[in-house]
């Protein structure tokens, strides 16, 4: 029986994957690095401690990883404060789930980004536990961030449903033992390996109902 629902943030509640991609690309170009065709996909699901190292070592940005992270986050937050790109149906979906279960959030975004998005969207009060991958040892597809979200909720991961959009995110939630509800990302769609691990595949957040989660 499902006892809690854990949401991803980027690509599930906020349409941000391309914004992250753009902010990182801008920094790389400005600092004389070399952006590669595979960079965006490579960094999907990486924790906020992992992807700045990738930007430095693989894309040639001569900055400390912490400074890379701070610079990109500042660009993201500046954009969010101008316009928060919520995915259609995000607020209503959170409210539907919160009316039935305690909610958690397991995100690859930095803590500061998580807090700003949830507050600006007016949904922070619905989440009993939120975890950034910078607060655990490994980013997605490792299960750490989902396992920690379940721990903070006080619920066994096997009694949680996870709502995810990305290949690595789906694999992460499944590895944690959660029932995965997939909402495939339109810009970076998950592959068949990941979708094969999903309990249900939805076309939009409007389809995320207690009945679909419970089966």
Pick the last residue of a domain from 27, 52, 82: 82
The CATH number of the domain holding residue 132 is: 3.40.50.1000
Phi, psi of 58 (to 5 degrees): -100, -25
Q: Please indicate, yes or no, whether residues 145 and 59 belong to a single structural domain of this protein.
A: no
CB atoms within 10 A of CB 92: 12
> How long a stretch of residues is the chain?
215
Closest CA to 214 of 135, 97, 128: 97
Residue 55 falls in which region: left (phi positive, over 0), alpha (psi -120 to 50) or beta: alpha
Q: What is the mean pLDDT of residues 14-29?
A: 91
In a shared domain, residues 103 and 153:
yes
Give yes or no for a contact between 146 and 162, defined as CB atoms under 8 angstroms apart: yes
Identify the pLDDT of residue 49.
Answer: 87
Give the C-alpha separation, 188 to 207, whole Å.
20
Tell me the residue range of the domain where 194 lies.
4-15+85-214
Of 64, 82, 100, the residue at which a domain comes to its end is: 82
Give the pLDDT confidence of 138-152 residue by residue, as tens digits. Answer: 999 999 999 999 999
Residue 46 belongs to a domain with what CATH number?
1.10.150
Percent of the chain with pLDDT over 90: 87
Number of structural domains in the chain: 2
Name the pTM for this structure.
Answer: 0.90
* 38 and 123 fall within a common domain: no
Residue 133 has pLDDT above 80, yes or no: yes
Residues 90 and 43 in one domain: no
65 or 17: whose pLDDT is higher?
65
Give pLDDT, residue 17.
78
The SS3 call for residue 161 is: strand
């Amino acid at each position: 029986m499902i006892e809690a629902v854990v949401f991803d943030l980027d690509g599930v509640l906020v349409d941000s994957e391309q914004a992250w991609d753009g902010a990182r690309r801008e920094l790389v170009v400005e600092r004389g690095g070399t952006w590669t065709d595979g960079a965006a996909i490579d960094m999907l699901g990486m924790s906020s401690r992992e992807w700045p190292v990738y930007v430095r070592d693989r894309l040639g940005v001569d900055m400390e990883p912490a400074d890379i992270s701070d610079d990109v986050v500042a660009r993201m937050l500046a954009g969010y404060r101008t316009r928060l790109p919520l995915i259609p149906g995000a607020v209503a979906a959170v409210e539907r789930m919160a009316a039935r279960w305690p909610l958690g959030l397991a995100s690859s975004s930095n803590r500061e980004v998580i807090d700003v998005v949830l507050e600006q969207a007016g949904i922070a009060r619905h989440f009993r536990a939120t975890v950034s991958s910078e607060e655990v040892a490994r980013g997605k597809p490792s299960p750490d961030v989902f396992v920690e979200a379940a721990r903070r909720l006080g619920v066994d991961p096997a009694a949680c449903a996870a709502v995810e959009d990305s290949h690595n995110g789906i694999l992460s939630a499944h590895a944690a033992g959660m029932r995965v509800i997939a909402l495939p990302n339109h810009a970076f769609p998950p592959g068949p390996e990941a979708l094969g691990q999903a309990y249900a595949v939805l076309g939009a957040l409007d389809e995320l109902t207690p009945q679909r989660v419970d089966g």
